Amino acid sequence: MLTLNWNIIWTFVDLIVLYVLMKKFLFARVQKVLDQRQEMIQGQMDYAKEQEALANQNLQQAQETVENATKEAREKAQRILEAASKKEKEQLQASEEEAKRILISSRKQAEQERKKLLADTQDEMVTIAMLAARKAVGNNINEEKEKALFEDLLKKVGEA
């Protein structure tokens, strides 16, 4: 037959009482600690998200700064290259003008030397022609008339 053992009943009653006491005193505190821990973790997660957003914003600002600096450096390099090119052209033009000036000066100097040499040659030819004419004709002709005649002759020969 089935008998009910009082020990089993008291064990169940003890367990129920123990459960109620634990629920009232222990589970509420444990749940409170768990809730605080959950709030702390959520706060840290929110803080980490804020820090990540701030880091992304700082990274974006840094990238913009680098892009601006790169752009400014390129513009500055371009201005320097343009200035150097302009200066090079100016120096080249000045060199060409100097070369032209030297060439013109050299031509003038050569022309002057040619004229001087031609005049010297004409004088010598007049003198030689006068000496030859004196010997051929004798010493009767006036020296100034001789010179004038030979210069006239040389001019006519030079024109032809």
| DSSP per-residue codes, the chain | -----HHHHHHHHHHHHHHHHIIIIIIHHHHHHHHHHHHHHHHHHHHHHHHHHHHHHHHHHHHHHHHHHHHHHHHHHHHHHHHHHHHHHHHHHHHHHHHHHHHHHHHHHHHHHHHHHHHHHHHHHHHHHHHHHHHHH-S-S-HHHHHHHHHHHHHHHHH-
pLDDT of residue 63: 95
pLDDT of residue 9: 86
Residue 34 falls inside a structural domain: no
Residue 121 falls inside a structural domain: yes
User: What is the extent of the structural domain holding 100?
Assistant: 39-159
Count of structural domains, the chain: 1
**How many angstroms separate the CA atoms of 146 and 130, rounded?**
6
Residue 2 falls inside a structural domain: no
- What is the model's pTM? 0.43
Residue 6 falls inside a structural domain: no
Residue 139 has pLDDT above 60, yes or no: no
Residue 78 falls inside a structural domain: yes
Largest CA distance in the chain: 196
Lowest mean pLDDT segment, chosen from 88-97, 107-116, 140-149: 140-149
Residue 47 has pLDDT above 70, yes or no: yes
pLDDT of residue 127: 76
Residue 23 falls inside a structural domain: no
**How many angstroms separate the CA atoms of 103 and 97, rounded?**
10
Residue 85 falls inside a structural domain: yes
Residue 22 falls inside a structural domain: no
